[in-house]
Chain A
Amino acid sequence: MAYDKFNILKSSAVPLPIENVDTDQIIPARFLKATERVGFGDNLFRDWRYNSDDTPKKDFVLNNDTFSGKILVGGKNFGSGSSREHAAWAIYDYGFRCVVSSFFADIFRNNCLNIGVLPVQVSPVFLEQIFAAIDADPNSNFTVDLPHQKISIDASGAAEHFEINPYKKENMTNGFDDIDYLLNIKEDIRTFSKNTPL
């Protein structure tokens, strides 16, 4: 599925300084019953965001108007657990385009890259600086520069380089997905399949 191209993103950020945020929290299993990719943003962090009677939990960050923006900043080991791509969909659908953490779970990272959410892994020290900047001013802006693989805190000018596979970077900046690539080499795949041992 095509997604918006990612180039330079300038935005305020939403802080979620919790470690090991797993995909069951990002989107609980009971909201995985759709047969189409619509409406997942409403259930992003459902059980942290709403009480069991569906009233919003006041102290959860997504219910706090002070914080907004297209960047979600999470604690270490973000996205562990289930392979559900729905977690990445929910994040995208809610309006985030970038997730920042000091460590990501593998499948979650892949899923994000496949649907146009940029996972930016920073050092633990820089992550603390980002949280501190939001703490000092919830409206503080951050710049995520994909071409230069750099994330910066606008107020202080502090910046850090981040890694991304060059192939994935190209895809993200162009809004391409992997399926297009694979469909183009179908003949090679056919030839290869004739010689597989199983």
Chain B
Amino acid sequence: MKKTLFDKVWDKHIVQQIDQGPDVLFIDRHMVHEVTSPVAFLGLKNRDIKVMYPERTFATADHNTPTINQHLPVADPLSAKQLDALEKNAKEHGISYWGLGHEKNGIVHVVGPEYGITLPGATIVCGDSHTSTHGAFGAIAFGIGTSEVEMVLSTQCILQPKPKKMRITINGNLQFGVTPKDVALFIISQLTTSGATGHFVEYAGDVFKNMSMEGRMTVCNLSIEMGARGGMIAPDEKTFHYIKGREFTPEGADWDKAMGYWQELFTDEGASFDKEFIFDGAAIEPMITFGTNPGMGIGISKDIPTADDIEGGAATYQKALDYMGFNEGESMIGKSIDFVFVGSCTNGRIEDFRAFAEMVKGRKKADNVTAWLVPGSHKVEKAIKEEGLLEILQASGFELREPGCSACLAMNDDKVPIGKYAVSTSNRNFEGRQGPGSRTLLASPIMAAAAAVTGKVTDPRTLMNS
């Protein structure tokens, strides 16, 4: 039978099929962080059981961590308690733990690929919806709830009905100034935030083939924002080159054995999908969001749609615009902004900081803008320094913070104040996501850079030499 990439990986991990029920799916690698794991560990304690395969679970602290003065004790007592709980639980169960200040510490979905935890053909889960990031390597990776975290800790399995399959193909050449983030925001704007619900997505076509691994991570990361369980891209030479030699990547005979499996990981000619979408890469513009979900995005040269143009309730649409303080039919260009956030598991990797630095080089941060530049991990932070990007940033009036999720979800002190506008490279512009009353405009690192130096929403192409 002709199989898709998704079928091949899924089928390889079925321990058991329950009649009329979900599949028992074996999980190769499991990542945990401090926020969604404590209740799961408590569950294990109440049942008096241990983690079944501690070597398959990796713990890092990220959601709740401060991004300045990480060497000092964490001031917020509740955050400190969660961080302590993670450390204690990891020690008790023999799990690798990369806490605050550890050289490998960083956002779960950034450190996974950095250390070879993320591998092609693997099943990877974490109690965080952007686990879909790891699909960039041809893994089946998806977010789970705390009950499921408990299942994986105790049995290395979860029960899942097999999702439907969707393929999104984009060929053609991307225009100048169009980044992977724009490609993803474009797709979500076309499919809406529920357009891929119930599906696992495969991204295919030249646009994804030509993308760097980091770009592919950005795209797969945002799969969840159109409702998909996850997204994946078939592994290729670029993928194998990326993972080779990383700490947890198999070596020697194990590498050869894994490669035997990995080389089969592509969708067979003629395999079928439940849904297919095809877009023209050349038609995509730099994107920005204007509303309160990631599907409410437009090309930077377009105007905010009117309620008649969109699918869905007019009342809900109006509520979103009211929250944002925008009107139908307006252009986004020129709108004054207050904050810029560069970071998160969507755009907190080295290529993102390179792009940001290149744009701000020789320019100055606008006075009305507060900028938070937060590397996704210590490894990224180190690269920023080693590559000389820090000097460029500092010369332009920017500072670098320490790694963590930061203003992506504003669980720590990095909160955008009520009513203020933030151009953010993160993944969600929900009401209050970046702090109560905050207003988020999602965009690429270069769009964020253009806003940071001009103090307003700016088409980044106007500042670039083509």
- A and B found bound together: yes
Given A105-B194, A111-B145: A1 touches B43 (CB 8 Å cut-off): yes
For chain B residues 271-324, which have a beta carbon within 8 Å of chain A? 293, 312-313, 315-316, 319
**Interface residues in A, total, Cβ within 8 A:** 58
Contact of B229 (CB < 8 Å), options: A1, A80, A106: A106
Residues of chain B with a CB closer than 8 A to A105's CB: 194, 197, 227
- Residue B150 at the A interface, CB < 8 A? yes
Binding stretch for chain B, among A16-24, A135-143, A145-153: A16-24
Please state if B193 and A36 are interface contacts (CB–CB under 8 Å): no
- B21: which of A25, A37, A166 is its contact (CB, 8 Å)? A166
In the bound complex, what is the Cα–Cα distance between A67 and B228 (angstroms)?
34
Q: What is the distance, in angstroms, from B117's C-beta to the closest C-beta of chain A?
A: 11
CB-CB contacts below 8 Å: A81-102 with B: 81-86, 88
Bound: A32/B85 CA distance, A = 14
Which of B26, B39, B257: most chain A Cβ within 10 A? B39
Contacts of A83 in B (CB 8 A): 36, 127-129, 131, 143-145
**Do B432 and A88 touch across chains, with their CB atoms under 8 A apart?**
no
* Min C-beta distance of A21 to chain B, whole Å: 9
Q: How far is the CB of A88 from chain B (nearest CB, A)?
A: 7
Number of interface residues of B (CB under 8 A): 80
Q: Which of A1, A76, A198 contacts B147, CB < 8 Å?
A: A1
Q: Are B26 and A77 in contact, with the CB atoms below 8 A?
A: no
Q: Are A185 and B16 in contact (CB under 8 A)?
A: yes
| Docked complex Cα distance between A28 and B410 (Å) | 10
A-facing mask of B46-58, CB < 8 A → 1, else 0?
A: 0101001100000
Interface stretch, picked from B94-102, B153-161, B354-362, B383-391, is: B153-161
Q: Which residues of A contact B261 (CB under 8 A)?
A: 197-198
Minimum CB distance partner of A24 in chain B: B430
Q: Verify B147–A179 contact, CB threshold 8 A.
A: yes
Which stretch, B74-82, B168-176, B209-217, B456-464, touches the partner chain A?
B74-82
- Smallest Cβ distance from A163 to chain B, in angstroms? 12
Contact A33 B64 (CB under 8 A): yes
Query: What are the 6 closest A-B residue pairs judged by CB atoms, nearest first?
Result: A167-B21, A85-B145, A83-B143, A33-B78, A111-B145, A35-B38
- Cross-chain pairs A/B with CB under 8 angstroms, 23 sampled: A24-B430, A24-B431, A24-B432, A25-B432, A30-B411, A32-B35, A33-B64, A36-B39, A36-B42, A76-B194, A82-B128, A82-B409, A83-B36, A104-B197, A105-B227, A106-B197, A110-B148, A165-B20, A167-B22, A178-B147, A182-B157, A185-B16, A198-B261
